[in-house]
Amino acid sequence: MEPIKETISEKKTVILLVESEPNARNYLSTAIKSSENFEVLNSGSIRDTMEILKENYEKIDFILFNWNSIEIPGSTFSQNIRKIFNYDHIELIAISHNLTPDDTFLIAELDIHYTLPKVINRADLIKKLEEVRKDYHFTKPELQKINELKHFINIENLEKCEEIVKDEKVLYKIKNNHKFLYLKGELLILRRHYEEAIQFFNSMLKDKSKLNTFETLKTMNTLGKAYCLAGKNKEALMIFEKLEAKSPKNLNHKVMVGEALLGLDKTYEAETKFHEVLEKNKKDKSALTGLIKSKSISGNYEEAKLFYHQIEGDFESKSLASYFNNRGVVLVKSDKFDEAISFYKNALYFFKKYKDHINFNLGMAYYRSNRIEEAVDYFQEVLKSDEFESFSDKTLLKLLKEEGADKFIEKFKKSTTQIP
């Protein structure tokens, strides 16, 4: 299929209309085009939608979609869009005449700020869209930096986040506006201040009068993530099970239940939860990633690769690389060197951007098991990489670089030779 590249006006508000029913799509598109303020891109399928977004996402302002669509369920569609961080700037507008309480919780958690009732006539549709457009452009300057902050948190770019929060207005909002308080905790997590994040969220939750129901959900979700990263998986599991019960359509809660179970070494239960998510959305990246982790941990490397090949888009992230590195370190500290080596070698299949981190830890596993030649091979891979500067504090790499491989190996062997 050829990429769907559209010619888009720079001045109009651009709406991507997603509606699988042809008559409804034609009606809505014609109605919206009757206004000079809007330009419309049309899609009747998930495939077309993703192609249009891929080629035009920078210019698209809104996605207008049918929450109750049978072919493209709004709950699944919106969660998929929110997981693609290039689309963080796009506002989602859901059309629905019958939102259930579960729908309402999910819409709030996904930061869907605008919903429209079932469309009856053109005049009402244009009037409502104009209200949204005016509200969007009125608040856009204020929200732009907050949205940028969310985006950079999502892609784990701490440097950009720190730059944004130097703005006193942004900093004031995330410290004082209840709607954005969870972002302060997300920043603490990105800084790896997990215990501080836990304390911050627990202090917030002690006085729930300051938070509405939806804000409490966001706060608990980020608290659960902090618990997971701090290795407190029992606490994390308790939180995510509560969130899953409260907002069952949010597939991320189910994934995080699986992640907490994985942290508790309950691999079978974790995989059951990940498969439960895939039954609802077979392309769910987080669930597939969870299965890659669990299969790798259990040594089922070929199965892990099968799930890896089902992932659409980029698999790698700094936090995911840290997860694999840390799991291998646990094996090394338990003197399970062969298991650690196999685990890290398997991980190299998944990582390109962060392969140097894996190579270094793989070298350390060989080093700790006294297989110095193999250790040097992997250390040298790090020395040759463009990312070497980020490892400049590693003593062994410094020595290897200064002394050269032969001398480094010779000194190691002398230091480990037992004198009778």
Domain harbouring 90, CATH code: 3.40.50.2300
Q: pLDDT tens digits for 109-128?
A: 999 989 988 766 888 899 98
- From 70-74, 138-142, 379-383, 404-408, the region with the lowest mean pLDDT: 138-142
Listed residues 149, 176, 197: the one ending a domain = 149
Q: What is the end-to-end Cα distance of the chain in Å, rounded? A: 73
| Alpha carbon distance 306, 175 (integer Å) | 44
Distance of CA 116 to the CA centre of its chain: 28
Domain boundary residue among 149, 174, 209? Answer: 149
Number of CB atoms found within 10 A of residue 42's CB: 19
Assess whether pLDDT exceeds 80 at residue 4: no
State the Cα–Cα distance between residues 178 and 186, nearest whole angstrom: 14
| Cβ-contact 206, 223 below 8 angstroms | no
- Tens of pLDDT, residue by residue over 226-254, are 999 999 999 999 999 999 999 999 999 99
Q: Is residue 140 part of a domain?
A: yes
Residue 419 has pLDDT above 80, yes or no: no
**What's the mean pLDDT when you consider all of the chain?**
90
* The domain boundary residue, chosen from 149, 175, 195: 149
What share of the chain has pLDDT > 70, as a percent? 94
pLDDT for residue 215 is more than 90: no
Tell me which residue range forms the domain holding 143.
13-149
Of the candidates 317, 275, 296, the residue with the CA atom closest to the CA atom of residue 83: 317
Contact 101, 55 (CB under 8 A): no
Rounded CA-CA distance 218/247 in Å is: 11
Q: For residue range 358-392, what is the model confidence (pLDDT) as tens digits?
A: 999 999 999 999 999 999 999 999 999 887 777 87
Question: φ and ψ at 35, to 5 degrees?
Answer: -95, 140
Can you give the pLDDT at residue 420? 44
Domain assignment present for residue 285? The answer is no
Number of domains composing the chain: 2
Predicted confidence (pLDDT) per residue in 15-51, tens digit: 999 999 999 999 999 999 999 999 999 999 989 999 9
Residue 287 lies in a domain: no
Q: State how far the Cα of 293 lies from the Cα of 323, in Å rounded to an integer.
A: 9
Residues 285-309: tens digit of each pLDDT: 999 999 999 999 999 999 999 999 9
Is 266 among the domain residues?
Answer: no
Dist. CA 3–CA 333, nearest whole Å: 50
Which of 56-70, 213-227, 342-356, 387-401 shows the lowest per-residue confidence on average (mean pLDDT)?
A: 387-401
Tokens 């670089």 sit on residue: 401
Say if 178 falls within a structural domain. Answer: no
Query: Does residue 105 fall inside a structural domain?
Result: yes
The pTM of the full predicted model, rounded to 2 decimals, is 0.86
> Please, how many CA atoms are within 13 Å of residue 54, restricted to the half-sphere of its CB?
11
Q: Average the pLDDT over 65-82 and give the result.
A: 90
Quick check: 384 and 360 in contact, CB under 8 A?
Answer: no
Rg, Å, the chain Cα set:
25
pLDDT (average), residues 174-200:
92
